[in-house]
Amino acid sequence: MQTLKYEGLQITNGNPKKVNDALVVEAALQININNEPYTVVMRTPGDDFELIRGLLFAEDIYKYKENLTFEVIEKRENGFSIVNVSIPKKLIGKGYLNKRTLLSVSSCGICGKQKLEDISVTGSKLENGFNFNSHKIEAMFSEMKANQETFDLSGGSHAAALFSNNYKLLIVKEDIGRHNAVDKVIGAQLNLNSLNKSNCLLVSGRVSYEIISKAFIAKIPYVIAVSACSTLAVDFAKEFGITLIGFSRGKKATIYASKIVLK
């Protein structure tokens, strides 16, 4: 299961139509070592044993040539899996001491909800407080691009930008990593005590669950991306009350999660 079909609303020159797009699956993989939870990673299901072996090598947990024993403890239709790997204690490297924090999304009950409608959940969703003008998207991305000095010089950086509810550019930051760029703009607004003015988060690449979670924590109700969105990003955008728009290029964009009134 590498992709799933998700319903979206594609806007071309202001004209909306429903589409069914293939989105790359993002789902949680819980890794247990010797029957004890070690970490949860977000991945596209498939080749999980190879992923775990590579991660253990990179994290200095297991660097020996001998193959390991893997056991699938749980595997759900939405892609969530638990895999246990058995490693002799005397062969576990020092990296195991840097135990990663387990993510709460491992028991995601809304994963795989593929319709455009909102999902009914408990808890407080973000409020989309105004009628969003889809014609402003192109202008916002143009303004962000005009401030991407590092990308202009190198072609190798991502960018994130925050805009107010009247489409005013608040800040642009660049980084080699998409998530880092998002952290930078949120951190900068926190330092200015102005995060509450942020209404739209623009990103220069694709959107995964982690970016949606950052937007939710920062109470930013709109996330707009140049590129694709993962399945988990769409699922959680619906749960969190975030309007999520992908493939925003020129006069085209696709809405995957929304309460907005198009103008």
CA-CA distance, 60 to 52, in Å (whole number)? Answer: 12
108 is catalytic: yes
Report pLDDT for 230: 93
* Catalytic entry in 108, 111, 200, 229: 108
Q: How confident is the model at residue 109 (pLDDT cuts 50, 70, 90)?
A: very low
Please give the span between the terminal C-alpha atoms of the chain, in angstroms, as a whole number. 36
When pLDDT is cut at 50, 70 and 90, the band that residue 242 belongs to is very high
CATH T-level assignment (fold) for domain 27-107: Ubiquitin-like (UB roll) (3.10.20)
**CATH assignment of 3-24+114-257, among 3.40.50.720, 3.40.140.10, 3.40.190.290, 3.30.70.120:** 3.40.140.10
Report pLDDT digits (tens) over 19-67: 999 998 888 888 999 999 888 888 888 889 998 998 888 888 998 888 8
Residues 243-261: tens digit of each pLDDT: 999 999 988 899 999 865 4
CA dihedral 177, 246, 128, 109 (to 10 degrees): -80
pLDDT tier at 100, thresholds 50, 70, 90:
low
- List the chain domain ranges: 3-24+114-257, 27-107
Average pLDDT, the chain: 84
Annotated binding site: 247-252
**Residue 181 or residue 122, greater confidence:** 181
Please say if the pLDDT value at position 221 is more than 90. yes
pLDDT value, residue 82? 92
Q: How far apart are CA 230 and CA 249, in angstroms?
A: 17
